[in-house]
Amino acid sequence: MKNTTSMLFAALTLSFAGNALGANYPNKTIELVVPYAPGGTTDLVARIVASELGEVLGEPVVVLNRPGAGGAVGSGYAARQKPDGYTLVMAVESSHAVNPNVQAEPMYDPVKDFSPISNLVDVLGVLDVGVDSGFESFDDLLAELKDNPGQYTFGSSGTGGYSHLFGELFQSVTDTELLHVPYNGLGPALVDLMAGQVNVVFDNLPSSMSALNSGKAKPLAVAAEGRLESMPDIPTYAELGYPELNNPSWFGLAAPAGTPDEILDILNVALEEVLQDPKVVASIKEQGALPAHTSRKEFQKIIEESNERWAGLVKSIGFEKL
């Protein structure tokens, strides 16, 4: 399969031989902006993909972390860069669907300011607590939260980010109350969870796998179609009676709006090859995610529909825009 995709990639590049954009791209290092801190899911996915993407394209793809404001700082930076294919950005549900819908004055338009390239992975969610928390199950946690409203905390990747809004949604559907503690990324939030400084983190599996596998954090629920082979004793949110919490999150790649179609097509085909590579697939699955390459149009539709869904959710839960 990889050989077939390589031939398609070569044919696509050759088809642009009469166009300087396609024929000469890429000819220097490509910058991949991650709008979150190192160690989180977005960063992990970006680094898995970037290394192999550089191999396929024949030029290095270097990850640049620009965290802040729930993904808005890095995404806004990427949107302002020259649309020449040498600045790419991780376009994820948190930064490109949630964050713009919770900001009173968004720093960018997630649809108009970017050119979608492809979704990369669908990521499963997990509710983490510390190993010394005393909570042995989701029901234990829920009972304690109901008995002591406002006495427990949850950490997020930043105000207005996916993990923050998921926490707000959790409180809404479970009729509980937690105090929000924002961080510059889920990596730092997990560090404080393991140290007992916060009580709960609504994370994605990739960024939690190391803490879970080492026994430094404990999962109580997952957002997945069914129980995971790696943690068969952990129920899904749907099993627990909360299907609203049971959706995976998308993590894709985009470029600044106006990037030429020829370049976007080259990148899309290259990503298809990357996401079929057995080593990449294994790495992604080990992190609790699933490869999910799409066409450019399919990814555009995902972004648009997700924005509509989160806009409705923000309104329905009465979230006060930032």
90 touches 35 (CB < 8 A): yes
Residue pointed to by tokens 């404001």: 69
Q: What CATH number has the domain bearing residue 214?
A: 3.40.190.10
Model confidence at 6, pLDDT cuts 50, 70, 90, reads: low
So what's the pLDDT on residue 65?
97
322 found inside a domain: no
CA distances from 201 to 128, 170, 273 (A): 5, 11, 34
Side chain identity at residue 33, one-letter code: V
Tally of CA atoms within 13 A in the half-sphere of 153 that contains its CB = 15
DSSP state of 83: S
Cα–Cα dist 164/131, whole Å: 22
Average pLDDT over residues 160-187: 90
Residues 41 and 151 in one domain: no
Least confident of 35-49, 101-115, 126-140: 35-49
Domain boundary among 184, 217, 245: 245
User: Whole-number mean pLDDT of the chain?
Assistant: 90
Cα–Cα dist 273/271, whole Å: 5
30 found inside a domain: yes
So what's the pLDDT on residue 272?
97
3-state secondary structure of 217: strand
Domain boundary among 245, 263, 286: 245
Residue, of 160 and 149, whose pLDDT is higher? 149
Residues 152 and 222 in one domain: yes
145 found inside a domain: yes
181 found inside a domain: yes
Tally of CA atoms within 13 A in the half-sphere of 214 that contains its CB = 11
Residue, of 248 and 300, whose pLDDT is higher? 300
So what's the pLDDT on residue 9?
55
Residues 239 and 256 in one domain: no
163 touches 94 (CB < 8 A): yes
pTM for this prediction: 0.79
So what's the pLDDT on residue 318?
82
136 found inside a domain: yes
Residues 237 and 180 in one domain: yes
Domain boundary among 218, 245, 272: 245
98 found inside a domain: yes
**Phi and psi at residue 86, to the nearest 5°:** -100, 0
Q: Residue 151's domain spans which residues?
A: 125-245
Residues 130 and 241 in one domain: yes
Each residue's pLDDT tens digit, 246-261 = 988 999 999 999 999 9
So what's the pLDDT on residue 251?
95
Each residue's pLDDT tens digit, 74-84 = 999 999 999 99
177 touches 150 (CB < 8 A): yes
Residues 224 and 170 in one domain: yes
So what's the pLDDT on residue 18?
45
Q: How many domains does the chain have?
A: 2
The residues, ordered by sequence, that sit 6+ positions from 235 with a Cβ below 8 Å of its Cβ are 138, 221, 222, 227
**Phi and psi at residue 162, to the nearest 5°:** -60, -45
Average pLDDT over residues 168-194: 92
201 touches 155 (CB < 8 A): yes
Q: What CATH number has the domain bearing residue 79?
A: 3.40.190.150
Residues 182 and 140 in one domain: yes
264 found inside a domain: yes
41 found inside a domain: yes
Does the pLDDT value for residue 282 go beyond 80? yes
